[in-house]
Structure formats: C-alpha cells, structure tokens
Amino acid sequence: MFEFQTVRDVISFAISLEHVSQKFYLQLAEQVPEPAVHQFLLEMTREEAMHEEQLRSLVETDPDDLSGMIDASEIHSYVQAMEVPDELDYKKAVRIAYDKEKASQMLYTILSSLVGPEYIKQLLVALAKQEQQHKEFFAKEYDRICLGEN
C-alpha cells in the first residue's frame, strides 16, 4: 500500500501508474484485431511513457516545490486504478483502461490544485487534459464493443 504525505509522494505514485499503464496498453494492443485501435494503443503507450518522464522531471526539481502536505484520503481511491486482473477479454480490458484514464485525470486535477509553483500546475493540468482525451476514446471504444454484441 502506498503512503502519501506530500505532493512528492503522490507524484511518485503517479509515475508508477504511468509505468503500469504502458505495460497494460502494450498487452491490450496485442489483443485488438482492428489496426486503427492497435495503432492508437501503441500511441497511448508512447504518451504514457512521456507522462512518466515529465513526472520524473518534476521529482528532480527543487524539493520545496513538492513538499506540500496532502490529505491522503483523497488519493487512496486512485490506487485501485493500478490493479489489473491477470485474465482479461478485450471488453473488460477497455473498461479497465477507461477507469485508469479517469483515475489519472482526477489525480492530476487534484494535484494541480495542491501545488504552488505555476510550472508544475500547468504540467498537471495538461496531463489531466490528455487523460480526459484518452478516457473519451475508451468510452467510445467500449460503446462500439457493446453495440457490436447486440
């Protein structure tokens, strides 16, 4: 279980989230039959790697920029977004991807309101917007799958 006391702790957790997401999207790309969705998932993997690098650069900044205290109860619900069952069909994987992106979007939104320095706030807001776009893609993909079943 993650222990969150500072913004730095949460950013370190977000780095882990982004790393796990990269692996998840690579596995999901192997399952999808549609070439366009396959390519999108590979692009998602690259974007998650970029997010990880951007967050790592924050951790390397002035320690005072990330030293603010947080209310850990707001963050613990996002830990669930890291959990991925071993066995998944494509439909369940898309639903989990949606949940992961939603959790990341909310996490970055909350973090952006907790940090002081404007450059960190802007990065977190930008990440939240990207996660929103990813979430919208997975919502549409999930709807497409469900409609195809009927």
* Alpha-carbon distances of 33 from 36, 40, 60, 94, 98, rounded to whole Å: 9, 12, 40, 13, 19
Verdict on whether the full-model pTM lies above 0.85: no
Is the pLDDT confidence value at 70 over 90?
A: no
What size, in residues, is the chain? 150
Neighbouring-strand partners of residue 69: 6
Q: How do residues 71-115 score in pLDDT, each as one tens digit?
A: 555 555 555 555 666 677 888 888 888 988 998 898 889 888 877
Give the Cβ contact number of residue 35 at 10 Å. Answer: 8
Quote the pLDDT of residue 4: 63
Tokens of 99: 């949940």
Dist CA 70 CA 93 (whole Å):
31
124 in the Ramachandran plot: left (φ > 0), alpha (ψ -120 to 50) or beta? alpha
Reply yes or no on whether the pLDDT at 1 is more than 50.
Answer: no
**Which of 12-21, 44-53, 71-80 is predicted with the least confidence, judged by mean pLDDT?**
71-80
List domains and CATH numbers for the chain.
7-149 (1.20.1260.10)
Cα–Cα dist 75/106, whole Å:
9
- Of 28, 47, 36, 19, nearest to 134 by C-alpha is 47
- Give the position of tokens 């951007």: 54
Which candidate, 112, 144, 143, 142, places its Cα nearest to that of 127?
112
Q: What percent of the chain has pLDDT over 70?
A: 79
Of the given ranges (62-66, 101-105, 143-147), which has the lowest mean pLDDT? 62-66
